[in-house]
């Protein structure tokens, strides 16, 4: 018996990959947590300093992961990086932490924020609306990756346009 190795077909391009990173960094961070930051830090300058510090830390992490990806050019991502550089148990634990906390918690927070934003228009609790949104997008991405990517790219474009509008309004008030 001969075994053939299936080659995975790459379905997302550079634009969709960049949009995914932008969405994970920008979305709720700008539109939801800004109010909490201003309430705690009291000045826009301090908020910008915290964002800058977080951006520097994220950039350093991306550089480290880029170096690791170059050293270990195989699928598996974080698990492979940690298992090969530290210990297989570190990769295993990191995988479970990412699944249970690193991916799930931000999705829950964003879906709840969405539910809060639209609760005046919809006759449903924010939890129900947010859960419905997660189910809708999970089905969309599960049924057709490219259509899901198109929706993701459009959502990121809207976010970036809203940020540009906010910057423009803020600049006009200076």
pLDDT at 105: 83
Q: For residue 139, give both structure tokens.
A: 């089905």
pLDDT tens, position by position, 75-133: 888 889 999 999 999 999 998 998 888 888 888 888 888 888 888 898 888 899 989 99
Q: Which residue has the tokens 């910057």?
A: 167
pLDDT at 132: 92
pLDDT at 7: 60
pLDDT tens, position by position, 16-54: 888 877 877 776 666 677 777 788 888 888 988 988 998
Average pLDDT of the chain, as a whole number = 84
Determine what percent of the chain is predicted with pLDDT higher than 70.
Answer: 91
The alpha carbon of residue 113 and the mean position of all alpha carbons in its chain are separated, in whole angstroms, by 14
Q: Where are the alpha helices (DSSP H) in 73-144?
A: 77-85, 88-97, 104-118, 126-143
> Which DSSP category does 122 fall into?
S
pLDDT tens, position by position, 56-76: 998 998 899 889 888 888 888
The span from the CA of 32 to the CA of 143, in Å, is: 29
pLDDT at 24: 73
- Burial of 149 (C-beta count, 10 Å sphere; 0-12/13-18/19+): buried
pLDDT at 56: 93
* 4 φ/ψ sector (left φ>0, alpha ψ -120 to 50, else beta): beta
């Amino acid at each position: 018996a001969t075994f053939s190795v299936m080659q995975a077909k790459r379905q997302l391009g550079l634009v969709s990959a960049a949009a995914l990173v932008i969405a994970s960094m920008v979305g709720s961070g700008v539109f939801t947590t800004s109010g909490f930051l201003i309430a705690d830090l009291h000045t826009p300058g301090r908020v910008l300093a915290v964002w800058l510090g977080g951006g520097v830390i994220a950039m350093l992490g991306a550089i480290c992961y880029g170096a690791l990806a170059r050293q270990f050019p195989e699928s598996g991502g974080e698990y492979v990086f940690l298992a090969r550089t530290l210990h297989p148990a570190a990769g295993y634990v990191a995988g479970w932490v990412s699944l249970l906390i690193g991916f799930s918690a931000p999705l829950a927070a964003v879906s709840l924020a969405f539910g809060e934003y639209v609760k005046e228009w919809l006759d449903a609790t924010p939890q129900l609306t947010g859960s419905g949104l997660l189910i809708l997008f999970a089905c969309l991405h599960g049924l057709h990756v490219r259509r899901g990517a198109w929706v993701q790219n459009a959502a990121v474009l809207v976010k970036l346009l809203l940020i540009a509008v906010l910057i423009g309004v803020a600049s006009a008030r200076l």
